[in-house]
A and B are shown apart, each in its own frame.
Chain A
Amino acid sequence: MTKTIVVTSGKGGVGKTTTSASIATGLAKRGFKTVVIDFDVGLRNLDLVMGCERRVVYDLVNLVNQEASLHQTLIKDKRIENLYILPASQTRDKDALTIEGIARVMHKLKKSDFDYIICDSPAGIEKGAKMALYFADEAIVTTNPEVSSVRDSDRILGILQSESKRSKMNEEPVKEHLLITRYNPTRVKDGQMLSVDDIVDLLAIPLLGIIPESPSVLDCSNAGKPVILDEESEAGQAYSDAIDRLLGEAKPHRFMEAPKKGFLARLFG
């Protein structure tokens, strides 16, 4: 049974691509045959974050237009077995995508025995974002602890509940997960940043994970490596925990507490 998961947010720059890369990599590492699709036609970036930008030959639009086969279009990851990347087109725009075309691609992927299809949504609520979420069984709503991101997440939840295929066909609703990224426990403690509880209260969907603000996220994207592969980093471990929860394991949330400062550090910090 193939599961389709959209990584979405409404707002741009909150970490959708970083999350898509790490979630897909994490699932593949656990042995699931996984493909991650970049739906940001015209502004492709997943290839860079995954470190396969020089291996792109064909793209999603070629596949939708039947100018290339699935086999030709999929890029096999060099680090992780079972992981494939389906890049977006850089020269076209989002109008090149159609529901029928994407449906054909999804059907081919299901026939190729993929366990997970991760859809990396573009920002906004326009056509590209709606295409990315249309076929979703589950949604990871990526949110920063910041007013505009929370508001946009609520908006995208409304769209998931009214414009996904599941809602239109009156099927069981899309399963929603909240992933809070760029979390800074110290600022939360000082009352300068919305807390996990605040955000869960406002959006009222189950919490999948909290990714702390971490320098390794930038380091890894600089290097073209999903941050989940940096097992030393807090962000990598937090993504790894999120994968466990996605697979149904109950795991306590980590990285919510501000590091304790010593007396001298507090005095001179």
Chain B
Amino acid sequence: MGIFSFFKTGKEDQSARVAKDRLQVLIAHERTGRNGPDYLPMLKQDILDVIKKYVAVGDDALSVQLESQDNCDVLELNITLPEADDSADDDGEPSESARRRAMERRQEASAS
């Protein structure tokens, strides 16, 4: 064991690096939630729901940052839209999400 590890460079298992990278992302994320006003998570959810009405996006597609500058707060929204037009797949068939949204629209229309 000693003889083999003697020749290792010791760079293979840098789990501490991974730990730091993970923590950096996580802590930054948790701090924004902490310092923001109470309504921020609800605001984010509502915006996300509106976007989802038109585009099929996941829950992580929207990032909300509230930054305080000299005498004003800046609310920064970052929305990642899916790359391909998802209304039709390569085979010409509408995608599952598009079909679902169309169905929901029709149900809403008939309900009103």
**Which residues of A are in contact with B by a Cβ distance under 8 Å?**
146-147, 150-151, 154-155, 158, 162, 188, 190-195, 198, 201-202, 266-269
Contacts and interface: CB of A to CB of B under 8 A. Distances in A.
Contacts of A194: 16, 19-20, 23
A148 to B, nearest CB: 10
B10 interface: yes
Interface in B1-28: 2-3, 6, 10-11, 13-17, 19-20, 22-24, 26-27
B26 A151 contact: yes
Interface string B56-95: 0000000000000000000000000000000000000000
Contacts of B13: 190-192
B17 A191 contact: yes
Nearest to B26: A151
A64 B4 CA distance: 62
Main secondary structure on B side of the interface with A: helix
B17 A154 contact: no
20 contacts: A147-B19, A150-B27, A151-B23, A151-B30, A154-B27, A154-B31, A158-B31, A162-B34, A191-B10, A191-B14, A191-B17, A192-B15, A193-B16, A194-B16, A198-B16, A198-B20, A202-B27, A266-B2, A268-B2, A268-B3
A267 B4 CA distance: 8
A193 B19 CA distance: 8
A269 B3 CA distance: 8
A150 B2 contact: no
B27 to A, nearest CB: 5
Contact of A195 (B16, B26, B30): B16
A193 B11 CA distance: 13
Given A154-B31, A158-B31, A190 B10 contact: yes
A12 B6 CA distance: 37
Contacts of B3: 267-268
Given A147-B22, A267-B2, A191 B31 contact: no
A265 to B, nearest CB: 8
Contacts of B22: 147
Given A154-B27, A154-B31, A191 B16 contact: yes
Nearest to A153: B27
Given A147-B22, A267-B3, 9 more contacts: A158-B35, A190-B10, A191-B15, A194-B16, A198-B19, A198-B20, A201-B20, A202-B23, A266-B6
A155 B23 CA distance: 12
Contacts of A188: 16
A185 to B, nearest CB: 12
Contacts of A190: 10, 13
A158 B34 contact: yes
Contacts of A146: 19
A164 B56 CA distance: 43
B4 to A, nearest CB: 10
A155 B14 contact: no
B24 to A, nearest CB: 7
A151 B19 CA distance: 11
Contacts of B31: 154, 158
